Amino acid sequence: MPAYPGAPNRLPGYPPEALQAGCRAGLVAVRVHIGTEGTVVAQTPIPGRPVADDSCHLAFRDSVGLAVAKWRFFPATRRTCRVASGAPPDCSEVPIQIFVDIEFTFDVVEGRGVVRSQQ
């Protein structure tokens, strides 16, 4: 069963300093490593999807890092079943570590910074 985000997770904010600096659109793709307790244990760039290193994208990346570090997930689980002859299956679920790739799109709409996410 895959991990899925808890309801109170908030999207990163569009950094006010990026808006004031004239930053427009940007994309931050991050691999979120989720531990067996449903907490974020690490964030890394998605292989082959580096974040641009200009000041706008660095501000976007920092915003993503701060927000995602606070996120909580319902942990992923692995179900295993043992079958004994003539008995019903004996199944159990064990929490496992997993990662999820998420893209955050930063944009300016009608003068306001907007952030969207996609898995």
Q: Retrieve residue 95's tokens.
A: 């929490």
pLDDT category, 7, cuts 50, 70, 90?
A: low
Distance CA 19, CA 111 (A): 9
User: For residue 51, what is the enclosing H or E element?
Assistant: none
Q: What is the DSSP code (8-state) at residue 72?
A: B
Q: Retrieve residue 14's tokens.
A: 């569009």
- Greater confidence (41 vs 8) lies with 41
Determine the pLDDT at residue 84.
84
Q: Retrieve residue 21's tokens.
A: 């600096």
Report which residue type is found at 3.
A
Determine the pLDDT at residue 85.
85
Output the domain CATH number for residue 90.
3.30.2420.10
Q: 38 near 96, Cβ under 8 Å?
A: no
Q: What is the DSSP code (8-state) at residue 66?
A: H
User: For 11-48, what is each residue's pLDDT tens digit?
Assistant: 999 999 999 999 999 999 999 999 999 999 999 999 99
**pLDDT, mean over the chain:** 91
Q: What does the pLDDT average to over 73-78?
A: 89
Domain residue limits at 71: 4-118
Determine the pLDDT at residue 112.
93
| Count of domains for the chain | 1
Q: Is the pLDDT of residue 2 over 70?
A: no
Name the pTM for this structure. Answer: 0.84
Q: 101 near 18, Cβ under 8 Å?
A: no
- Greater confidence (2 vs 96) lies with 96
**What is the β-pairing status of strands 26-34 and 4-5?**
unpaired
Q: Count CB neighbours of 30 within 10 A.
A: 23
